[in-house]
Amino acid sequence: MHRRIEATIYGRVQGVAFRHYTVIAAREHRLVGWVANRPDGTVRVVAEGPPGSLQSFAAWLHEGPPAARVEFVDLREMNATGEFSTFEVRG
């Protein structure tokens, strides 16, 4: 049974290729969903997939790519909706 996470990542997470690396990490974990920069300087991630893959991906979100400095991740888990077929950058 697939699950869903919705996360907002705070810190130095824009202008450091966070979205690019998030797509790579999500696809490596065989997840679907999206990543987007938000006007307040945070990054928003919605991902769906197997619970184990989501857990590993969530751990990666707490680290981010090499140039990022993740200060906090507000993460919520819920049931998957099945609305996605790939993982992409939005906005």
Q: Is 19 labeled as catalytic in the residue annotation?
A: yes
Catalytic entry in 3, 12, 37, 44: 37
The residue annotated as part of the active site, out of 19, 69, 79, 90, is 19
- The answer to whether 8 touches 44, Cβ cutoff 8 Å, is yes
Backbone angles phi, psi at 49, to 5 degrees: 165, -170
* End-to-end Cα separation, the chain, in angstroms: 29
Which of the residues are catalytic? Answer: 19, 37
